[in-house]
Amino acid sequence: MSHVSGLNTETIVVGVDVHKYSHTAVAIDCFGQKLGEYEFSNDLLSEFVVWLDSLGKHSRADLLVALEDVNGYGVHIVKRLANENIVMRYVPGILTERHRKQSIHREKSDSVDAWRVAKVILTNYEETLPAKESIANLTERTTSTNLDFFLVERRSLVSEKTILKNQLHAMIHQYLGDHYMEGFAKAFNSKSITYFLKELQPNKKGVDPDQLPLVKSIHRRLIRLKLLEQQIMEIDEEMRKVAKESEPVKALRQNVMGCGHITACTLLAEVTTIKRFQTKSQFARYAGIAPIHKSSGSHNRLYTSPYGNRKVNKALHTIALYQISRTNDPTNKGRIYYEKKLNEGKTKLWALRCLKRQLSNRVFQTLRHEYNARPIPN
């Protein structure tokens, strides 16, 4: 895949406003002047590529397509442009929204939105990232996509499981009283679910008729909870299979203490390829780990960034909490670093933030080293 390292006077930027059935593209030159507009659908991607090639007397090396959101509806565009070796770059939605709020004219339409996406490339190029489809190889893209499918489904199932557990806690307590958890290490593990399913059957003798609706509702929820547990286990097994074949996942698990296979898969699914990031600082900003610096006169303050990829941020947070909890491990450099920051006068929360930055650097260096050590494909 070809990619550009920056902008030049010959660059033509095409911003695309993505929707489900129709998309709008607006082309601008390096000075922000509009060169053309094109509306198309997923069935007319070939015509869209022809229109891109017709933009002036440029080569594809001077063409850059900017997309705000390709997680769902834009996937067909991305695949086609990647196959055509057309450079793409992702624009965070917050940048286009900020551009709209700062503009005198705040109109909103598909054409204007596409123009704003392209304009952000000119004004905030360093805050955007190259599209993973433009620079990742086929193996990296396939692995990332598969892991993302598993993780999205798993997060949905875990969320649904949590809701069911909270409901069952209240309902079983209502039916059995305060001691319903006695005899079980956890209220809803496989052993306890099997027991409750056997004991709380609607057709069982001795069930109070007035309590029958409650018992039926509990029984249905227990069946759903058991199914959710089985599906989560199936997804975890599928992810283990993918992780065994992925060298970056292996590298993360071996070199980052506390990085389990779910956390490693989450990092790889979001990053796809470390080639997207030139420095460890750029990766830290992407993860929302790098603090925001605000100064005025003699006042200088650092604030936690609320932006960045929150999934990557949460993964690093999980690793940091694991390392902090390992108090009796002399090889745990994360805990040693955390205590060092506490001794310097940092608060626990700020020391945790410092540790997350070190972990961000560690993840970047691990993935960069793994990529550099990877044999060049034929």
Looking at residue 23, its pLDDT comes to 93
CA–CA separation, 284 vs 359, rounded Å? 10
Contacts of 215 (CB under 8 A, 6+ apart): 175, 200, 201, 202, 207
Regarding whether 109 and 152 lie in a shared domain, the answer is no
How does pLDDT run along the chain (378 residues), one tens digit per residue?
444 457 888 899 999 999 888 899 999 998 989 999 999 999 999 999 999 999 876 678 889 999 986 567 888 898 899 888 899 999 988 888 888 888 777 778 889 999 999 999 999 888 888 888 888 888 888 899 899 999 999 999 999 999 999 999 999 999 988 988 888 888 888 889 999 999 898 888 878 888 999 999 999 999 999 999 999 999 999 999 988 889 999 999 999 999 999 999 999 999 999 999 999 999 999 999 988 877 777 777 877 778 889 999 999 999 999 999 988 888 899 999 999 999 999 999 999 999 999 999 999 999 999 988 775 443
Residue with tokens 């283990």: 240
209 lies in some domain: yes
Regarding whether 318 and 218 lie in a shared domain, the answer is no
CA–CA separation, 28 vs 14, rounded Å? 6
362 lies in some domain: yes
Regarding whether 189 and 90 lie in a shared domain, the answer is no
Amino acid letter, 34:
K
Regarding whether 259 and 166 lie in a shared domain, the answer is no
Domain range for residue 195?
141-245
Regarding whether 365 and 302 lie in a shared domain, the answer is yes
Regarding whether 280 and 211 lie in a shared domain, the answer is no
Looking at residue 58, its pLDDT comes to 65
Domain boundary among 88, 119, 135: 135
Regarding whether 126 and 29 lie in a shared domain, the answer is yes
Regarding whether 314 and 294 lie in a shared domain, the answer is yes
What total number of domains does the chain contain? 3
5 lies in some domain: no
Structure tokens at 173: 């307590």
67 lies in some domain: yes
Structure tokens at 192: 């306890």
221 lies in some domain: yes
CA–CA separation, 80 vs 23, rounded Å? 14
Domain boundary among 195, 214, 245: 245
Domain boundary among 184, 215, 245: 245
357 lies in some domain: yes
Regarding whether 191 and 157 lie in a shared domain, the answer is yes
53 lies in some domain: yes
Contact (CB, 8 A) for 54 and 34? no
Regarding whether 150 and 121 lie in a shared domain, the answer is no
6 lies in some domain: no
